[in-house]
Structure 1
């Protein structure tokens, strides 16, 4: 997500220092010693005031010229001015080719659009592959994947066309009615009245393990909260840590999933934090939305 105004900093150091005749710019600061009054012609006599003023003025003119040149060099042209358009080409706010300031975003924009709630239009590069994997991991372990209607949409949006049909059948077998019963859900993937099913995944980081123009492999380290919130729930909401590995293919101008696997961990040590009530968890899920994830 650069606020430095380099010209303002440069102008203060260059313009401000060059305003006086005894500026430190160029090493012109001097110590003036007044000699005893006497005959101007004597060896240690005081020099005529007119000649002294002329010397000071000459030095001042030189210093101001040096300061003006230094200021022009530090300014960097009109594009760095505080009033310049930050979105204009060549300015540090929009230049992602290496000319950005340290605090400016340096990654590629994550997506160009969305298909429903799932991001689409990922960049055709390593960062785009990692962004796609992070967003797809969230969709594949969401509460909607347990709902047959929403599952069909997710599969068509996330997977390649060649694998969508095969994986749709496998998902249906995995999320059978007996499996849904264990979670307290009906055949449509909905919780009973007074209960809220929670499945919220949060990517912690991504790692690219293989990359080519047509395919890539990305590991996504995730945490999340899963379970059924409600009084007397037999499947209370708890947290989990896992890693998903997604094989991606570049198809029709976007990254799509060809296959994926999941394993436990890495998991940190749990703290002794007091668990929130079922109502608090259910309310949080309803009130706090998710994100579009980018590398």
Structure 2
């Protein structure tokens, strides 16, 4: 699945790019003003991502079966996933047609940008569920290297992916649209255009939540009765012209993350 410092285990990178205008006051009260990154952790992970791509199909990963809970920030607010109907959100079991492939790719992008990817056990579970068995077997070790303790510390997280007490780690992907670039019944290439959010919300955070625009392209294969990811790549944009909205304070961002549960389905 690209934002400010999201670890990038995809072919061309995770979150990098568009920054929103920050307010003169808060963001996030860590010093004389919001710092500008000159060499973001995401850039470092982009290098790792290229290596991962050479070794195997590249990936982030989302939810598995319908009963799996939405990944939530450790020590953060317990947000509730939003389901389309009923009590269980749609996460797997997509139709073997073009619309089903688009739905799968959109849902997987949501998960690949979730906080669950920063926890080793959750990450392994997600990779096993969303990727082909061959890709999953090759991905785990390179991805563990990408999500190293050093990388997590650059995001303000501890070695287990937990944010400091009183802070909220934000990592979300919001699909804007999807298109099928190629479809043959048992395979599909689907591109998902998305808006991403990543950063740490807290009074002393030096890495405020920022936004980015990316296009995430998935090579999908039909296996075990569902679409599975064989490989994926990302490119920058297209990014719209930034508006004149006032950037929210850390308290406003934390409250929004707590009140608005992330989507576990799309399309």
- TM-score class, shorter-chain normalisation, is 0.5 to 0.7
Q: Write 1 or 2 for the structure with the bigger share of helix.
A: 1
- 1:237 has 2:209 as partner: yes
Query: Which stretches in structure 1 are left out of the alignment for 5+ residues?
Result: 1-112
Whether the 8 Å contact between 2:110 and 2:263 is mirrored in structure 1 is no
Bigger relative CO (Cα 8 Å, ≥ 6 apart): 2
Deviations 1:190-217 (A, max 9, x none): 1011111100110000010010111110
Whether the 8 Å contact between 1:130 and 1:294 is mirrored in structure 2 is no
- 1:291 has 2:263 as partner: yes
Distance 1:232 1:192 in 2: 10
Q: TM-score, normalised by structure 2?
A: 0.66
Classify the secondary structure of the residue corresponding to 2:255: helix
What is the match of residue 13 of structure 2?
none
Shift of 1:146: 1.0
- 1:262 has 2:234 as partner: yes
What is the match of residue 215 of structure 1?
187
Structure 1 residues 63-142: aligned runs within 5 Å: 114-116=66-68, 117=70, 119-142=91-114
Aligned Cα RMSD in Å?
1.4
Shift of 1:294: 4.2
Shift of 1:232: 2.0
Shift of 1:115: 4.8
Equivalent residue in structure 1 for 2:218, among 246, 249, 256: 246
Q: Based on CA coordinates, which of the two structures has the bigger radius of gyration? A: 1
Classify the secondary structure of the residue corresponding to 1:169: helix
Query: Which stretches in structure 2 are left out of the alignment for 5+ residues?
Result: 1-64, 71-89
Classify the secondary structure of the residue corresponding to 1:243: strand
Distance 1:172 1:201 in 2: 21
What is the match of residue 140 of structure 2?
168
Whether the 8 Å contact between 1:115 and 1:157 is mirrored in structure 2 is no
Distance 1:196 1:153 in 2: 23
Q: TM-score, normalised by structure 1?
A: 0.60
Whether the 8 Å contact between 2:128 and 2:136 is mirrored in structure 1 is yes
Distance 1:272 1:210 in 2: 38
